[in-house]
Amino acid sequence: MAAKTIFQPIDIVKYEDMGYDGSCLTIYGVPTDNEATNIQPMLFTENASDYREVAEVLQTETTDDLSNFSKAFVIPGLGVSTDRVKAALREHKITVTNDYEKCDFIVIDNCIEDNYDSRFRTTKMLHHKTNMYIVNENHFEQHYDDTGQWTVFCDKIKNNFNLHSTNYESAAYDLHGISGLAIELTHKIKAKEIDVVSIDTVLNASNNKQTLTTELVSQLRSMMQSNDDRTLAGSILPTIDYKTKPGLLWELAEFTSQRVDYDYNRNKDIKYWAEKANIRGLSRMSAEEALLHFEEQDRLDAETFKMLEPIIRSQISIHNRELYVFKVQIKPEYRKYFKKNKINENN
């Protein structure tokens, strides 16, 4: 049974069999803790195109149909809590396994790569680092003697070890790290042994999704102002369908953005939902900016226009009213949002 960790054995033969360049590969050790008590192998390639293709294979959804599946493997470090994923999959009679060798498909998001700084996060399958050193003496000598692998000297361990007191060399400027798990899953996907399903597909297929209404927005506003009800309000947010009712979503963002950053900053489900819904971005928009934003995204409809336009109109500022009379008219290209629905007229 395979353990749920990115550090699966490195199978270079399997990697090369997928058509990737084997002439520029190196296996380095990667510390998994600050004391470097555990060093695990990772494959590094100097071929950026191969690295990007692996990432693309892992993140490209192959189906959105969940009806033929029975077991799912949730990738490490997913942006949504495992409990929520399990609940959503349970509705389709799908169980979650920790053994990738037993799954029908993997549940993926778009955050499988660690390229933030000089640390190696053990929940990310791919790593892109720059300007790193490798070491093989003192504390790291035993790992080198056992495996022949140098260890990457990363920020995770720099406070506990001095680089100048050990033998070190410069690694390639661009380090493209591919974990053993990434190799195994990529091989299975390319061999069509497993499918890839986006976490968005899983969550949006859940019966727990609810559409925003004026009443729900008002209810959440009231709950957010109460310390007793704020936790309950937080449990409702991830169930809201952020793809519909953009005008109400803009109104919701106005009073939830700061709550997400401060009250719910450790809740993975709320943070994921808020990011997908662009809550922070919407909260910074005026009504007019939001309307134009939704138009650009092809999400502007008559309901949203009629909700936001009166707010925009109320914010018009006209001077010299003592001498002149002004008439406000909506531009011709926006008048279509006021046309009556002919289908409704005929009923």
Cβ neighbours, 10 Å, residue 115: 12
Find where tokens 């692996």 sit: 54
C-alpha closest to that of 154 among 123, 116, 183, 182? 116
Whole-Å CA distances, 285 to 58, 101, 282: 35, 47, 5
Q: Torsion over CA of 77, 115, 188 and 100, rounded to 10 degrees? A: -20
Helix H or strand E segment including 296: helix 287-296
Nearest by Cα to 254 from 281, 231, 215, 276 = 281
How many helices (DSSP H) and strands (DSSP E) are in the chain? Answer: 14, 12
- Quote the pLDDT of residue 340: 58
The angle, 0 to 180 degrees and rounded to 10, between the axes of the packed helices 180-190 and 48-59 is 70
pTM of the model: 0.83
pLDDT of residue 322: 83
Beta strands at 105-108 and 195-198: parallel, antiparallel or unpaired: parallel
**Residue 235: both structure tokens together:** 């449990």
DSSP for 186-216? HHHHHTTSSEEEEHHHHHHT-TT-B---HHH
pLDDT of residue 1: 63
The backbone torsions φ and ψ at residue 296, rounded to the nearest 5 degrees and listed phi first, read -60, -35
> Using CA atoms in the order 123, 70, 186, 189, what is the torsion angle rounded to 10 degrees?
-160
Residues 6+ apart with CB under 8 A from 178: 15, 42, 43, 44, 45, 51, 54, 125, 126
CA dihedral 241, 245, 250, 255 (to 10 degrees): -60
Helix (H, G, I), strand (E, B) or coil at 222: helix
Helices 287-296 and 246-262 meet at what angle, rounded to 10?
110
Distance CA 58, CA 52 (A): 10
DSSP state of 138: G
Which residues lie below 8 Å from residue 327, measured CB to CB, with a gap of 6+? Answer: none
Q: What is the pLDDT along the chain (347 residues), one digit of tens a residue?
A: 678 899 999 999 999 999 999 999 999 999 999 999 999 999 999 999 999 999 999 999 999 999 999 999 999 999 999 999 999 999 999 999 999 999 999 999 988 999 888 889 999 999 999 999 999 999 999 999 999 999 999 988 988 898 888 889 999 999 999 999 999 999 999 999 999 999 999 998 888 889 999 999 999 999 999 888 999 999 999 999 999 999 999 999 999 999 999 999 899 999 999 999 999 999 999 999 999 999 999 999 999 999 999 999 999 888 887 888 888 889 999 999 987 554 444 43
What is the structure's pLDDT at 221?
95
Per-residue model confidence (pLDDT) at position 339: 72
Q: What is the pLDDT of residue 30?
A: 96
- Write down the pLDDT at residue 345: 40
Which strands sit side by side in the sheet containing 95-96, from one edge to the other? 95-96, 71-74, 105-108, 195-198
Furthest-apart CA atoms within the chain: distance in Å: 90
For 43, the 3-state DSSP assignment is strand
